[in-house]
Amino acid sequence: MSTPIPARIAALREAMAKHGVAACVVPTADPHLSEYLPAHWQARAWLSGFDGSAGTLVVTAKTAGLWTDSRYFSQAEQQLAGGGIALMKQRPGQANEHLTWLQQHLHQGEVAAIAGDSLSVAMQRQTESLLGAAGASLRVDLDLPGMAWRDRPALPHAPVFEHPAGYAGATRAEKFEKLRSAMRKQHATHHLVSSLDDIAWLTNLRGSDVECNPVFLAHLLVRSSGPATLFVDRDKLNDEVVAALIADGVYVANYATLGDALGELRAADTLLFDPSYVVSDVLKAVAADVKRIEGANPSTAFKAVKSENELEHVREVMRRDGAALVRAFRRLEERLAAGMTQTELDVSALLRDERSAQPNFIGESFATIAGYMENGALPHYRATPEAHDSLQRHGLLLVDSGGQYLGGTTDITRVLALGPTTSEQRRDATLVMKGMIALSRARFPKGASGQQLDALARAPLWASGMDYGHGTGHGVGYFLNVHEGPQSIRVPTSGATLVPLEPGMITSIEPGLYKPARHGIRHENLAVVVEAEQTEFGEFYAFETLTLCPFDRRALEPGLLGPEERAWLDDYHASVRAALAPLLEDADLAWLEKHCAPL
């Protein structure tokens, strides 16, 4: 029988008392600072019962609190109930509010602990600085959650495979040479890469150690001249993959031996690493006299800009993915019209069924969000066998889903009208659509960042006194993580780096609106930045919409759209019809034609 949450917290407190620790911080992190974690490092979820993808647990001798953002408030309230853990609601842009709380509640001489394999070098410094101001200190040599977690899952052991050369865009040798060129410009002799998507991209390898993300647990140490070393469980690689790596100057070493290799660096060496993506446990192996350069991994910027070869594969994937969605939505409508009982779980199953029939489909890019009516107001809602709703023939269904294909990663949200809708629902859906159209049509100068464009998507909502609490757009990987940096489209925050949008970058465009206990709206397409024109004022860029699937116009109030907005929507639907019609027939083709008809 599963251990109750209070008993888990009690076990953690027992370990804390044994080691003289006043506060234990349990972040959502692993040794690679991933967004989504293998089960082995989901200590925060195990201890608290809250399984959202973002949150930090803080436990003291008498109190326990879970900090998370507005996407998860409702979910956290439900999952934390009865466990003795308080929900601490983070304000927008204040991801580290738990540190301020610690500073206020710890006293002179007291100790806080965070496991060093889940704490970035940058966050360690920030934490030590804030605690030091209160006379407290930090220990990173204790894995207190691991001491309490008796049945902790083992490390994942999924096989690693080659991303086929026809899809990879560039060879492994070409990518490593580009990286080494960047290293030499910074006078770095060695470069440590711990972020899993960077490693997968550089090596042209993929895996499945993390749910929905085609990555594998590894570290990579690259020399500016000489071989690179991939630290990975050797049993995950077959002999052909190992031979191909060696032929390209990449040697394989055991995952656990990275510290030994870093310990061999000498004073003449210079190590480049990203302090936000290397953990304390790893860096402690580097001798104090080794010179260090701190900066973003060059590969992060390289992989963000997709080549024309990659974009051609992505465009084809969008056609296949769009056709799968048309079939799934048509089948859902048919079942509901026939009086069949359908639930949010059935929606997920339909999408998975249709996508899996497409060429080169590997899996979902994240767990499908299918939220009917009030569940749609939870931005990261997830239906489960234990808790889900049945669909009725009225109101709105929000469906956010995506797929992983050899030729790209998809992420799309559509709001479906399952029958009669209210004027409020249609108005809200149309205001969000107006914001999406405004951003999709934007022209912007070279050097502009997503933070500068974010207001375009929010303006129609602001004009009606409404807003949403999440970002408007995130980068998307190429058969990699569905959330990828460095670019984003979001509200500006103090001290944040403004990353210019460059041609070849793929981003989501996904404004939303959420009314608790009523309904949620989110429209989402993926778009790629393209060159637009050269004027006397410089170079200007625009967005090319990549996603191909009709919007449900029954959920909209066309009278609220201006002539240019109506024209954009009609043009979009014409392009969807032209792209998908050759892939569909009979009832599916008729459904497409109906939903792509001009307003």
Residue 377 has which token pair?
A: 């107001």
Q: CATH 3.40.350.10 spans which residues of the chain?
A: 5-148, 161-303
Q: What is the pLDDT of residues 237-272, one digit of tens each?
A: 999 999 999 999 999 999 999 999 999 999 999 999
Q: Which residues contact 382 (CB under 8 A, 6 or more apart)?
A: 367, 369
pLDDT value of residue 99: 93
pLDDT value of residue 356: 98
Alpha helices in 134-171 (DSSP H): 144-148, 165-168
pLDDT value of residue 562: 97
Q: Decide: 293 and 275 in contact? Cβ < 8 Å.
A: no
Q: Does 53 score more than 90 pLDDT?
A: no
pLDDT value of residue 494: 73
Specify the amino acid at residue 267: A
Of the chain, the percentage scoring pLDDT greater than 70 comes to 99
Q: Decide: 459 and 389 in contact? Cβ < 8 Å.
A: no
If pLDDT is split at 50, 70 and 90, which confidence band does 72 have? confident
Q: What is the pLDDT of residues 383-402, one digit of tens each?
A: 888 889 999 999 999 999 99
Q: Is 385 helix (H, G, I), strand (E, B) or coil?
A: coil
**Strands 228-231, 250-253: parallel, antiparallel or unpaired by DSSP?**
parallel
Q: Does 1 score more than 50 pLDDT?
A: no
CATH architecture of 308-595: Alpha-Beta Complex (3.90)
User: How much is the mean pLDDT over the chain?
Assistant: 95
Q: Does 342 score more than 90 pLDDT?
A: yes
Of the chain, the percentage scoring pLDDT greater than 90 comes to 92
Can you tell me the distance from the alpha carbon of 99 to that of 27, in angstroms, rounded to the nearest whole number? Answer: 12
Q: What is the pLDDT of residues 536-563, one digit of tens each?
A: 999 999 999 999 999 999 999 999 999 9
Q: CATH 3.90.230.10 spans which residues of the chain?
A: 308-595
pLDDT value of residue 93: 67
CATH class of 161-303: alpha beta
Say which CATH topology domain 5-148 has.
Creatine Amidinohydrolase; Chain A, domain 1 (3.40.350)
Q: Does 92 score more than 80 pLDDT?
A: no
Task: Tell me the average pLDDT across 371-394.
Answer: 92
Alpha helices in 291-422 (DSSP H): 298-304, 308-337, 344-356
Q: Does 143 score more than 90 pLDDT?
A: yes
Nearest to 183 by CA among 249, 216, 228, 121: 228
pLDDT value of residue 37: 92
Rounded (10°) angle between helices 450-462 and 423-440: 150
Q: Does 380 score more than 90 pLDDT?
A: no
Q: Please give, one letter per residue, the 3-state secondary structure of 410-465.
A: CCEEEEEECCCCCHHHHHHHHHHHHHHHHHHCCEEECCCEHHHHHHHHHHHHHCCC
pLDDT value of residue 194: 98
